[in-house]
Amino acid sequence: MHLTMPTTVIEGTQLTVMPFRPDVVIGTMGLPTLLQLVPSPRTEEDTRALKYASGTLRRHAEVRALVQRMLKSTQKGRNVTSYAAYIASGVNGEYGSGWSTPPITLWLDGQPGAVSDELIPGSGIRTVTVLPGSPVVAIDGETQVTAWHELYDSPERFGITYEKLTTVRLPYELYFGLTVESARQIFYDRNVEGVPVAKNLAMSMDQRDIGTQLAHRIGESVKVEHEGRIIPFGKLVQGRKRQLTKSDPELITLSALRVLVITALHGRAGLALTSSTLHDDRLPQGVDAEQAGQRLVPLLSRLVTRLYPHLAARTAVSAPAVLAGIGIAAHQTTGWATSGSALTEEELFALLEPVRWEREATYWDGVAASANASGALNFGGGAKNSGGRVADALLHPDTEYGRRIRGW
């Protein structure tokens, strides 16, 4: 007796997709499917483990090395655990709907084993089958893939369960039939051609960041007269750009206002934190988010109200370096400053009152800015470089810089 062998059944991982180019499809897949298709990059960089791995895994590692950078000893690798913790919090519902991971860009080295007809005529939706052992590499989103592997390998470490992880579906795009050179080019284009967001601007968009939250509350709390109308100061805060131009109607950037908040909260130590996310675990010792808000929102609201005429006149007070110095001085009035002399609000305002905020080299050259040969000022040094000098000048009127900024 002779059995006939099947001729049309293709075994492998079947994905439901929609093409948007002849060699690219998009879709979603369950997390276990992704982890089966794309092995852990950490494992593939472990030479000892790879020595005893299957030939399929070693082949995959070789293909990955052609189009991806290393995780080990890079910032990319160091970000994996924090990314996994963020994802776990999102899956657990801690962020509500306000969290996201980008679609993962995959490359299949070769062609699908099979492509079906359209499942719904005219829709483009069909299935593709990835043959067992066919290398599928994440050419963009590999840090995310590695984070998902860490979650699935040790869910209890991140306070999540297998049951929740198995319900996750992930968006992806899958390229196939491309040469290694084309896959490398996509990696380059995704990582270089796009303009990265400046980190301090990105921080100002983070609505879970305490500094951003307080900056928004101050913007809502302060009411100012602008062009004959009383409006919230927040209407004059630019939240989409890192720097203002002369044509912008706003008077200050959100990232600069956040610098004021962070330095008022932490003092000089805040200079190193202006480009870092500020959550509960990075508040001063003994201070929680509620206490920080109760003290800083009224304090900085009064401060912004006093400084508003100078902001409206577009003086030096809107420069991040100057705001950082003001924040450091304001920190001495909070009640939780651990160094320097404590100040009352009246004493703080008395120190600020005689300052010459005009953007003139006579007052700010060498303190918060540098002047060129014609005397034009450049405040480009930023909060980290110049905030400490501004604070010293504000807090110590009898020093050289203290006298300079007051025109004495």
Spatial CA neighbour of 274 closest among 365, 357, 368, 385: 385
Whether residue 7 has pLDDT greater than 70 = no
Q: How many CB atoms lie within 10 A of CB 277?
A: 16
Question: What's the rounded Cα separation, in Å, for the pair 95 and 278?
Answer: 16
In terms of average pLDDT, the best of 111-125, 193-207, 377-391 is 111-125
Which pLDDT belongs to residue 199?
Answer: 62
Which pLDDT belongs to residue 206?
Answer: 76
Which pLDDT belongs to residue 333?
Answer: 97
Spatial CA neighbour of 395 closest among 323, 337, 330, 334: 330
* pLDDT confidence tier of residue 53, bands split at 50, 70 and 90: confident
Quick check: 276 and 259 in contact, CB under 8 A? no
Which pLDDT belongs to residue 49?
Answer: 83
> CA 121, 124, 127, 128: dihedral to nearest 10 degrees?
140
Which pLDDT belongs to residue 17?
Answer: 97
Distance, first Cα to last Cα, the chain: 109
Q: For residue 171, list its beta bridge partners.
A: 28
φ, ψ for residue 169 (rounded to 5)?
Answer: -120, 140
Which pLDDT belongs to residue 379?
Answer: 82
Spatial CA neighbour of 42 closest among 125, 146, 121, 197: 146
Q: For residue 369, list its beta bridge partners.
A: 365
* pLDDT confidence tier of residue 239, bands split at 50, 70 and 90: confident
Whether residue 8 has pLDDT greater than 70 = no
Q: What percent of the chain has pLDDT over 90?
A: 68
List, in order, residues 6 or more apart from 393 with CB less than 8 Å away: 325, 367, 399, 401, 402, 404, 405
* pLDDT confidence tier of residue 73, bands split at 50, 70 and 90: low
Whether residue 200 has pLDDT greater than 60 = no
Quick check: 99 and 22 in contact, CB under 8 A? no
Each residue of 139-180: pLDDT tens digit? Answer: 999 999 999 999 999 999 999 999 999 999 999 999 999 999
Which pLDDT belongs to residue 192?
Answer: 77
* pLDDT confidence tier of residue 102, bands split at 50, 70 and 90: very high
Which pLDDT belongs to residue 80?
Answer: 92
Question: What's the rounded Cα separation, in Å, for the pair 265 and 294?
Answer: 12
Quick check: 267 and 326 in contact, CB under 8 A? no
Q: What is the mean pLDDT of residues 319-334?
A: 96
List, in order, residues 6 or more apart from 39 with CB less than 8 Å away: 57, 60, 61
Which pLDDT belongs to residue 6?
Answer: 67
Which pLDDT belongs to residue 203?
Answer: 63
CA angle, residues 304, 307, 309, in degrees to nearest 5: 120
Quick one: residue 274, left, alpha or beta (phi over 0 = left, psi -120 to 50 = alpha)?
Answer: alpha
Q: What is the mean pLDDT of residues 34-40?
A: 94
> Which position has the higher pLDDT, 9 or 332?
332
φ, ψ for residue 288 (rounded to 5)?
Answer: -105, 175
Give Cα separations from 317 to 133, 246, 297, 321, 346 (angstroms): 62, 15, 19, 9, 19
Whether residue 188 has pLDDT greater than 90 = no
Quick check: 266 and 337 in contact, CB under 8 A? no
Which pLDDT belongs to residue 70?
Answer: 82
Q: For residue 28, list its beta bridge partners.
A: 171
17: which 2 tokens?
């997709």
